[in-house]
Amino acid sequence: MTRQEVNELLSPILVELQEKKKEKGLTFEKIAEAIDRSELYTAAIFYGQAKPEEKDLEALSSVLNIPKDKLVAELGPSFFPLRGGLSSSPPTDPTLYRLHEAMTVYSMPIKEIINEKFGDGIMSAIDFRGAVERVEDPAGARVKITFDGKFLPFRRW
């Protein structure tokens, strides 16, 4: 999926967030610092995958020079994310495809290890934190992705 195709799936305000980010030469890390959120959560806001609070919109307004009233009207109390749906399955973008491949190959082993260590249950994607880090290595830079979700046991009734 091309950037243009992704932009066609995003609402105009989300496209504007992306454009202002690029125009100002900002990274998600810098924006996250300015709005006091994690880098991954901040990026999720820009793709309509997370619901910003009013304080986030106020900070984004300041950082990106977008009127706060406009952000509140589009992303405020009446906005609810439509999570997922920004990529085909399997995805065609090489980075997304490799993430999909890694989860396809390792999801069952990860599930089994979760069950062995915690019992019968799941990792929450709602009570969740994640991070992407660059790790220097003599053989070449490595990508470290952390998924940190609350364990939720299945209830018996």
- Annotation says 124 is catalytic: yes
Active-site pick, 8, 53, 54, 101: 101
Active-site pick, 83, 98, 129, 142: 98
Please name the residue that has the structure tokens 């932009």.
7
Active-site pick, 62, 112, 124, 133: 124
* Long-range pairs, 120-129, Cβ under 8 A, ≥24: 120/153, 120/154, 121/151, 121/152, 121/153, 121/154, 122/151, 122/152, 122/154, 123/147, 123/149, 123/150, 123/151, 123/152, 124/149, 124/150, 124/151, 124/152, 125/149, 127/152, 129/38, 129/40
- Annotation says 3 is catalytic: no
Residues with a catalytic annotation lie at 98, 101, 124
